[in-house]
Structure 1
Amino acid sequence: MKSCIACGMPMKTKEEFALGDESKDYCVYCARPDGTMQSYEEKLESMIKFIVNTQGIDEKAAQSSAKGMLSKLPAWKA
């Protein structure tokens, strides 16, 4: 099983891959409508919103959490 290089989500089904293409290394949630991978800024913004909505913490704490999580993923390592 592959994990998304941009958010870490396990991709178990074809539908979870960007454009349903199992050769992609990133998931449907990290893809733009044209199938290209979102930028770091786009992913950070969506991850912050996700954390605020699912964990109920304030935006500043969510931003810190999101930056920490993204820094450990292959797509965002320097």
Structure 2
Amino acid sequence: MKMCIACGMPMTQIADYPRYDISKNYCKLCAKSDGSMKSFDEKLEELTLRYVEEHSMDYQVAKETARIILKKLPAWKRW
């Protein structure tokens, strides 16, 4: 089973891949509409807003939490 390099999501079905392209190592949630991978800044903002909305976190705390989590994933280790 592949794991998304950008968010860690397990990719167990063809529908989990961007544009059903199983050669990609990132999931459909980490892809732009053209199938290319979103940038670190795009993923950081998405995850930050998700934490703010779903966990009622302060924006700055959510952003730092998201940054720490994302930097552990293969796609973002250099960030």
Normalized against structure 1, the TM-score is what? 0.92
Question: Unmatched 5+ residue regions in structure 2?
Answer: none
Aligned-partner Cα distance in 1 for 2:56–2:14: 31
Match of 1:41 in 2: 41
**Structure 2 letter corresponding to 1:64:** E
Match of 1:16 in 2: 16
CA RMSD in angstroms, aligned pairs only: 1.0
TM superposition outliers: structure 1 runs of 4+ over 4 Å: none
**Structure 1 letter corresponding to 2:39:** S
Identical amino acids, percent of aligned pairs: 46
Match of 2:58 in 1: 58
**Structure 2 letter corresponding to 1:41:** D
Aligned-partner Cα distance in 1 for 2:28–2:41: 17
Aligned-partner Cα distance in 2 for 1:15–1:55: 28
1:75 deviates by 0.5
Question: Unmatched 5+ residue regions in structure 1?
Answer: none
Normalized against structure 2, the TM-score is what? 0.91
**Structure 1 letter corresponding to 2:65:** S
Q: Give the paired residue count.
A: 78
Match of 1:32 in 2: 32
Aligned-partner Cα distance in 2 for 1:16–1:10: 8
**Matched residue SS, 1:19:** helix
